[in-house]
Amino acid sequence: MKKNYSRSIFRYVFEFYAAGFAGWIYEVSVMWIMFRIYENRGILHMPIVPIYAVGAFILLAILRKKRNPLFLFIFSAVLTTVFELGASYLLEFLFHQEFWTYETWPLSILDRSCVISSAVFGVMAVAYFWVLRPVSGWLSQKLPSKLCIALSLIGIGALAADLAISVRELIKER
C-alpha cells in the first residue's frame, strides 16, 4: 500500500512539473515568435506555469483515463478555455493585475483566451494523456520507491517555497 502511494505521489509531482514546464516553454516560445523577446512567463521563479499543470489535473479528474484523441482534443480545448477565462478573472481579482491578454490575437475570446490557444491546449491535453501519463507511470515503476519519495518531497518543497515567495511578491505589488 505505502509503495503504491509513494509512486502515485511521485507521478502527480512529476506530471505537475512536466505540464507546468511544457506550458512555460509554450508561453516563452509565443513571446519569442510574436515579439522576438524573451520573457519569463508565469508567476513562479521556476520555469513552470502552474495554470497548465492545474488544467491538466482538472482534465485528469474529469476524464480519469486516456480517450479517443479527437474527443480528448475537442473536450480539452473547450474545458481549458473556460478554465483559462475563469482563472484570468480570479487572478485579476486576487492580485489586482492582468496576468495575460489576447487583445491583439485573432479570434480572441474576451481578450482572456483565444481559439488558437484553445487548440494548443487541446494538443497539449492529448500529449498529456497519450505521452506524459504513460511516461510517468513507467518512471514510477522503474525508480526505487525511496527515490520516488525523495524526489516527491524535494519537488513539493521547492514548489511550496517558490509559490510562497512568488505570492508574497505579488501581494507587495498590489
What does pTM read for this prediction? 0.86
Q: Is the pLDDT of residue 165 over 80?
A: yes
Rg (CA), the chain: 17
Instruction: Provide the percentage of residues in the chain whose pLDDT is more than 70.
Output: 98
- pLDDT tens track for 132-142: 999 999 999 99
Single-letter residue type at 155 = G
DSSP assignment string, 17-78 = HHHHHHHHHHHHHHHHHHHS-----SSSSSS--HHHHHHHHHHHHHH-S---HHHHHHHHHH
Q: Is the pLDDT of residue 166 over 70?
A: yes
Categorize the per-residue pLDDT at 171 as very low, low, confident or very high, splitting at 50, 70 and 90: confident
- Name the residue with cell 492582468: 98
Q: Is the pLDDT of residue 1 over 60?
A: no
Q: Is the pLDDT of residue 68 over 90?
A: yes
Mean pLDDT of 23-51: 90
The Cα 73–Cα 47 span in angstroms is 25
